[in-house]
Amino acid sequence: MTVIAGVVSNGSVYMAADSGASCDSSIVSIKESKLFSVGRDDNRIIVGAAGSARIFQLLKYHLKVRKPTKTESPLKYLSGAFTEQYARLTKSAGDGPERPSELLIGFRGRLFEMGSDFSLIESTFDFAAIGSGADFALGVLYATAGGADPKLRLTQAVHCAAKLSPTCALPMTTMSLETVAKTKK
């Protein structure tokens, strides 16, 4: 299965993923990252997928969504345009909510979890994790909260899951949406 972990720090979103693909009694490390991005500039979204490799491939290579408006909240955009296109894409490929997949989504300085039923939640914590190794990652992220470097926190979280969960494996990949401070002239 998977561990995808994310941290929000100073308006930036950082994510990390393991490379394990498991079934029943075996696990292999895959070459392709479970993290990808869609959009550009201020409208860039980073996504981590846990569950069906088919869902991940559909999203990574075929997801085309409209650009969000400047006034559209991240939750409104993700629960509307993004989710509608995701649902349409999975339905057209013969996949659907019955194929358990979870997404961790970073957008405009916020972090959302999407369940296999397309529901979206945003935690009150500055971190989240999904996949079979999520409990291990969440423990590390909780224990390291309060000022630790977000990249270090994610490294420790994913390494912990890879060490303690038989369904997670290294190497780890990372991605971020870092906020650039705008200065007024």
pLDDT in tens, 38-94: 887 778 899 999 988 888 888 888 888 888 888 899 999 999 999 998 888 877 666
pLDDT given at position 92: 67
- For 146-157, the pLDDT digits (tens) are 878 999 999 999
For the segment(s) 4-21+28-175, the CATH number from 3.40.190.290, 3.60.20.10, 3.40.50.410, 3.40.50.150 is 3.60.20.10
- For 116-150, the pLDDT digits (tens) are 889 999 999 999 999 999 999 999 999 999 878 99
pLDDT given at position 94: 62
Percentages of the chain per state (helix, strand, coil), in multiples of 5: 30, 30, 40
Give domain limits for the chain: 4-21+28-175
Neighbour count for residue 49 (Cβ, 10 Å): 26
Q: What is the mean pLDDT of residues 3-20?
A: 96
pTM (predicted TM-score): 0.91
- DSSP per-residue string spanning 110-153: EEEEE-TT--EE--SSSEEEESTTHHHHHHHHHHTTTTS-HHHH
Q: What is the mean pLDDT of residues 173-178?
A: 93
Whether 182 has a pLDDT exceeding 50, the answer reads no
Residue 80: phi, psi to the nearest 5? -100, -95
> pLDDT above 70 covers what percent of the chain?
91
pLDDT given at position 176: 95
